[in-house]
Amino acid sequence: MAGAAAIPCVTLSTGHAMPVLGFGTGSSRAPPDLADTILHAVRLGYRHIDTASFYGTEPVVGTAVAEAVRSGAVGSRADLFVTSKLWISDARPGRVVPALRESLARLGLDYLDLFLVHWPVSTDGGAQVEFDMEGVWRGMEECHRLGLARSVGVSNFSAAKMERLVSLAAVPPAVNQVELNVGWRQEKVREACARHGVVVSAYSPLGALGTVWGSDAVMESGVLHQVAAAKGKTVAQVALRWVYEQGVCFVARSFNRERLEQNMAIFSGWELSKEDKETIATIPQKRASQGEYFVSPDGPYKSVDELWDGEI
């Protein structure tokens, strides 16, 4: 199996190993042959697939996982690491375990490797309500206790929210998945997570170019173009290698077979120099994923600043 050993793993606080590179399936333009592309990625050596109830890709991920096992691309389901996420409409005590069971039914799986609270946001009957962090987390802990999710974590949590979560958690969060790339380094979140043994996973490591909120700050960065040219690598490879060298895991999305190979060919044989990293550190910082849809004058978050606790 070409490259099967090439993607390293990190050990989560639960003791389970997570491949540092995940195959992202969150896209408004998922192709009709996505199951084949995922299967191809598994044959290349991808072992971690990132989905969410919100993405609508759980059924197709389930099809690909079943086919990967059936065709012998992997020995068993246990060779794969599947992440899914609790959407905001289910982020209420009492809805967490049922929502995970519904995700598992769509995936055709009996457990998830990682279940994340997608946003620190909650809706009830379509209206946004106060996010009950403790109540929702008790539900996540129950998912873990029932064996339905081997590890549980969060996404889009600021450093301040991480501190609060850790202080109330009986089962500590294993992962915080946040926007992180050369153009939004997330130093505060990384420090908070490191303090509490929480693994940071980067979403949009390439800047999510092509999404409504994505930015060209990564792929069109003059600095990255220079480093890439000097190293004989692509801009995407330099961007991903930078994330990896920060000790951060990442979920990258490509539905193109050549780019899938390119993105996993960053783990050995080269590294960024001290000078490269110093130049990359000069890239201006700007959050692309603001979460402005979760902000309204009469809602629990009255500004983007409140949503991110001023970390913006």
Residues in contact with ligand DGU by the rule CB under 6 A:
26, 52, 293
* SS3 (DSSP) at 297: coil
Return the residue of 255, 294, 301, 308 that touches ligand NDP, per CB under 6 A: 255
Q: Which stretch binds ligand NDP (CB under 6 A): 64-72, 138-146, 200-208, 278-286?
A: 200-208
Return the residue of 100, 107, 251, 266 that touches ligand NDP, per CB under 6 A: 251
Q: What angle do CA 79, 149, 170 make, to 5 degrees?
A: 135
With binding defined as CB under 6 A, does residue 183 bind ligand NDP? Answer: no
- CA-based nearest residue to 103, from 55, 155, 172: 55
Which residues are designated catalytic? 55
259 binds, among ligand NDP, ligand DGU, none (CB under 5 to 8 A by kind): ligand NDP
- 98, with CB counted inside 10 A (0-12, 13-18, 19+), is exposed
Could you tell me the smallest distance in angstroms from the CB atom of residue 259 to ligand NDP?
Answer: 4
φ, ψ of residue 270 to 5 degrees: the values are -160, 165
Chain center to CA of 111: 18
* Amino acid letter, residue 33: D
Could you tell me the smallest distance in angstroms from the CB atom of residue 179 to ligand DGU?
Answer: 9
Could you tell me the smallest distance in angstroms from the CB atom of residue 10 to ligand DGU?
Answer: 21
CB 248 within 8 A of CB 201: yes
Helices 58-70 and 34-44 cross at an angle (nearest 10°) of 50
Instruction: Closer to ligand NDP by CB, 71 or 293: give it.
Output: 293
Residues at the contact surface with ligand NDP, assessed by CB under 6 A: 24-27, 50, 118, 155-156, 177, 203-211, 234, 236, 251-256, 259, 262-263
